[in-house]
Amino acid sequence: SQELEQSPQSLIVQEGKNLTINCTSSKTLYGLYWYKQKYGEGLIFLMMLQKGGEEKSHEKITAKLDEKKQQSSLHITASQPSHAGIYLCGADINNAGGTSYGKLTFGQGTILTVHP
Amino acid sequence: ETGVTQSPTHLIKTRGQQVTLRCSSQSGHNTVSWYQQALGQGPQFIFQYYREEENGRGNFPPRFSGLQFPNYSSELNVNALELDDSALYLCASSWGPRGRYGYTFGSGTRLTVV
């Protein structure tokens, strides 16, 4: 969707390296979600960010929300083969009333490969 | 706490046929949303059901329809299947239509139309 740009489209890293995936919305965000997906499977919830400047971490994955830029970044520290998969950001767009539309608009995803 | 379950996991249908996909929401969730994910793309919102009524719809034709039952489970029906309907169909449940505590996705139903 052009409303949500995710970069890079693919990423190949050596095990142990750090990496960052970016997600930029063309519209004001009510919330931003990060999911991980194994090929052909469902989405695994990673994090939800709703406030500007918010930062959340889970194990070696950290996500931040820059409200001014309508942008979020997902950072993986010391990557492992278990981190491999497709990372999807989903934007909950702010409606005219300042609340959620109740639907997520997704980027195309970032395919992450981690070589042992 | 049970997560979101979808059935069947895989399905092959012929063009022109009709299909019904099923979704059981996570315990405590009262809202179900359906998404279509084509190969290599991010999921696209089809519609949402809250209090047994459609509560928002994406850019999908009327041959995509749904139902929500009193136990909050849901069905997605697609009539007159087209080849382009081949995709992974994902169901997501939430507490409330605005997903205040997030959206939990199921494992999906892989539909192939031949």
Name every chain A residue with its beta carbon within 8 A of the beta carbon of B98.
30, 92, 99-100, 102
Q: What does the pLDDT average to over B59-86? A: 97
Task: Nearest by CB to B90, from A4, A30, A43: name it.
Answer: A43
Distance (Å, whole) CA A7 – CA A109: 8
Task: Please say if the pLDDT value at position A50 is more than 90.
Answer: no
Residue of A nearest to B108 (CA): A42
Q: Which two tokens stand for residue A86?
A: 């497709």
Q: Could you tell me if A83 and A20 are in contact, meaning their C-beta atoms sit under 8 angstroms apart?
A: no
Task: Please say if the pLDDT value at position A101 is more than 80.
Answer: no
Task: Please say if the pLDDT value at position B76 is more than 90.
Answer: yes
Distance (Å, whole) CA B111 – CA A57: 35
Distance (Å, whole) CA A80 – CA B40: 23
Q: What percent of chain A has pLDDT over 90?
A: 69
- pLDDT, position A53: 84
- pLDDT, position B73: 96
Distance (Å, whole) CA A113 – CA A9: 11
Task: Please say if the pLDDT value at position B30 is more than 80.
Answer: yes
- pLDDT, position A82: 95
For chain A, the average pLDDT equals 91
Say yes or no: B60 contacts chain A, CB-CB below 8 A: no
Task: Please say if the pLDDT value at position B20 is more than 80.
Answer: yes
- pLDDT, position B1: 58
Cβ contacts of B66 within 8 Å, gap of 6 or more: B34, B46, B47, B49, B54, B74, B75, B76, B77
Task: Please say if the pLDDT value at position B2 is more than 80.
Answer: no
Task: Please say if the pLDDT value at position A56 is more than 70.
Answer: yes
Question: DSSP for A64-93?
Answer: EEETTTTEEEEEESS--GGG-EEEEEEEEE
- pLDDT, position A49: 92
Subunit contact B55:A33, Cβ cutoff 8 A:
no
Q: What does the pLDDT average to over B65-81? A: 97
Task: Please say if the pLDDT value at position A1 is more than 70.
Answer: no
Say yes or no: A42 contacts chain B, CB-CB below 8 A: yes
Task: Please say if the pLDDT value at position A85 is more than 80.
Answer: yes
Say yes or no: A1 contacts chain B, CB-CB below 8 A: yes
Q: Which two tokens stand for residue A54?
A: 């918010």
* DSSP code of residue A114: E
- pLDDT, position B50: 93
Q: Could you tell me if A67 and A53 are in contact, meaning their C-beta atoms sit under 8 angstroms apart?
A: yes
- Position A40 confidence tier, pLDDT thresholds 50, 70, 90: confident
Q: pLDDT tens for residues B51-64?
A: 999 999 999 999 99
Torsion angle in degrees (nearest 10) through CA of B72, B22, A42, A94: -50
Helices (H), chain B: none
